[in-house]
């Protein structure tokens, strides 16, 4: 059956379709047609909150290489059973956070997708790796570099693959940005600016350091950091190496809602300096509303509104408006790509090392905001 995730994106440049883009399109079409049919890998979702419920579970129904075979939840008798009925998997595939080690005895499970609050990603990833399962951890990979190192080490010693839920690497607009970064008739990008913010209505775990590790930088600013690295580095190779800034400066904004943001930032802005001199400024907030970037290149520019959303991205370049039709499901593509990595025994292009790079940048941003001065991200 031809699902939306199967269908190749048709590119409508109202502006100019370059030869490079046409060649890429042809290559990806050939690859899709040549890929042999293969078994679907069993995926377990860990943490049945908003993202797992409204995005990942529906996206799994659109994948070609994955199927939802189980869940990990703190409420196995209610939520777990409800999911088993709704998605047609056996109740023996309902686990709790304390019984994840038992997955080792369940050959139906190939991939564990961790969708818990940020500070629990390391715990749940390491538990899954110890059970011998490949892992996708949601972003941010963890709350500090030390945890990322522990996750990478656990996956390496268990011989399983690790990937991060960076869905925008599978979105055609962001893929086009990465392609243009390496197109000498357009790039490289020389001045990058972006921001992502929403207004938090009431206090949730995202504003608690213990569970979130930080404030909007961890949750939203990470997309702006990713945009800068995409614009400077272009398409990434499986497993890296990944481009990283050589220095970081940052400043926290004032707290107009101190009761809500008692132990995390309410807003923060930063500048990343890359080795080739491109400055990337970014901002994020839980008390404002913006979702955009504008990146200037040597021979053009690329900008987007609704830039970091699941769909409805509105983008244009100096060559004209950009439309990709029909819309893709970013999460279905992301999960299928990881399943293909597992099946082909290759590293993900959004690997644990990339997640670690971003935590190193985030740590440097917080360090600069706290003490001032330029910081170098540690051991990227």
Name the minimum Å distance from CB 161 to ligand NAD: 18
Rounded distance between C-alpha atoms, residue 37 and residue 186, angstroms: 38
Least distance from ligand NAD to the Cβ atom of residue 227, Å: 14
Residues from 225 through 284 that contact ligand NAD (CB under 6 A): none
**Exposed, middle or buried, 169 (CB in 10 Å: 0-12/13-18/19+)?**
buried
Least distance (Å) from ligand NAD to the CB of residue 174?
A: 13
CA distance 314 to 243: 26
Residue located via tokens 């990434």: 236
Radius of gyration of the chain (CA): 20
Which residue, 42 or 165, has its beta carbon nearer to ligand NAD?
A: 165
User: Is the Cβ–Cβ distance between 40 and 67 less than 8 Å?
Assistant: yes
Shortest Cβ distance from residue 18 to ligand NAD (Å)?
29
Q: Kindly tell me which residue out of 106, 118, 175, 317 binds ligand NAD, with binding defined by CB under 6 A.
A: 118
- Nearest approach, Cβ of 349 to ligand NAD (angstroms)? 15
Residue 211 interacts with ligand NAD (CB under 6 A)?
Answer: yes
C-beta neighbour count of 298 within 10 angstroms: 11
Q: Which stretch binds ligand NAD (CB under 6 A): 30-38, 112-120, 189-197, 355-363?
A: 112-120
Do 57 and 51 touch, CB atoms closer than 8 A? no
The residue from 165, 188, 214, 355 that contacts ligand NAD (CB under 6 A) is 165
Q: Which tokens go with 317? A: 């370049």
Stated length of the chain: 380
Q: Which is nearer to ligand NAD, 116 or 125 (CB)?
A: 116
Structure tokens at 271: 């500048």
- What is the number of the residue whose Cβ is closest to ligand NAD? 49
In angstroms, give the least distance from the CB of 200 to ligand NAD. 12
Classify burial at 120, counting beta carbons within 10 Å of its beta carbon; exposed 0-12, middle 13-18, buried 19 or more.
buried
Nearest to residue 131, comparing CAs of 156, 165, 104, 91?
104
Q: What whole-number distance in Å separates Cα of residue 40 and Cα of residue 128?
A: 19
Q: Does 224 bind ligand NAD (CB under 6 A)?
A: no
Taking residues 37 to 56 in sequence order and writing x for each that binds ligand NAD by CB under 6 A, - otherwise, the string is: ----------xxxxxx----
Cβ contact 38:65 at 8 Å: yes
CB of 30 to ligand NAD, least distance (A): 30
Q: Which of residues 127-146 bind ligand NAD (CB under 6 A)?
A: 138-139
**Run of H or E including 290:** strand 287-297
Q: Is 123 helix (H, G, I), strand (E, B) or coil?
A: helix
Binding mask 70-109 for ligand NAD (x = CB under 6 A): ----x-----------------------------------
Of 232 and 350, which has the nearer Cβ to ligand NAD?
Answer: 350
Q: How big is the site for ligand NAD, counted in residues (CB under 6 A)?
A: 19
- Which residues are near ligand NAD by CB under 6 A? 47-52, 74, 115-118, 120, 138-139, 165, 167, 205, 211, 219
């Amino acid at each position: 059956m031809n699902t939306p995730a199967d269908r190749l994106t048709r590119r409508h440049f109202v502006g100019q379709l370059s030869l490079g883009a046409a060649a890429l399109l042809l290559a990806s079409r050939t690859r899709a047609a040549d890929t042999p049919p293969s078994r679907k890998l069993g995926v377990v979702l860990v943490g049945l909150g908003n993202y797992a419920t409204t995005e990942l579970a529906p996206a799994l129904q659109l994948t070609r290489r994955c199927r939802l075979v189980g869940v990990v939840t703190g409420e196995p008798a209610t939520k777990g059973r409800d999911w088993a009925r709704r998605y047609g998997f056996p109740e023996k595939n309902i686990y709790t956070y304390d019984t994840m080690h038992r997955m080792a005895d369940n050959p139906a499970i190939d991939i564990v997708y961790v969708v818990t609050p940020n500070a629990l990603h390391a715990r749940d990833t390491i538990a899954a790796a110890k059970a011998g399962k490949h892992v996708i951890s949601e972003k941010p990979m963890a709350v500090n570099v030390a945890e990322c190192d522990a996750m990478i080490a656990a996956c390496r010693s268990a011989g399983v693959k690790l990937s991060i839920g960076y869905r925008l690497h599978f979105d055609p607009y962001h893929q086009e940005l990465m392609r243009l970064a390496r197109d000498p008739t357009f790039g490289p990008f020389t001045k990058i600016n972006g921001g992502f913010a929403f207004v938090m209505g009431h206090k949730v775990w995202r504003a608690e350091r213990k569970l979130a590790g930080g404030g909007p930088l961890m949750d939203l600013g990470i997309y702006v950091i990713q945009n800068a690295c995409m614009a400077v580095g272009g398409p990434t190779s499986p497993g890296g190496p990944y481009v990283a800034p050589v220095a970081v400066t940052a400043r926290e904004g004032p707290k107009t809602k101190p009761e809500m943001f008692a132990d995390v930032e309410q807003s923060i802005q930063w500048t990343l300096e890359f080795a080739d001199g491109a400055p990337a400024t970014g901002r994020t907030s839980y008390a404002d509303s913006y979702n955009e970037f504008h990146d200037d290149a040597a021979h053009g520019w690329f900008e987007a509104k609704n830039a970091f959303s699941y769909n409805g991205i509105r983008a244009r370049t100096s060559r004209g408006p950009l439309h990709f039709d029909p819309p893709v499901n970013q999460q279905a593509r992301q999960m299928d790509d990881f399943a293909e990595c597992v099946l082909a025994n290759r590293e993900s292009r959004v690997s644990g090392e990339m997640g670690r790079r971003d935590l190193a940048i985030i740590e440097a941003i917080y360090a600069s905001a706290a003490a001032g001065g330029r910081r170098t991200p540690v051991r990227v």
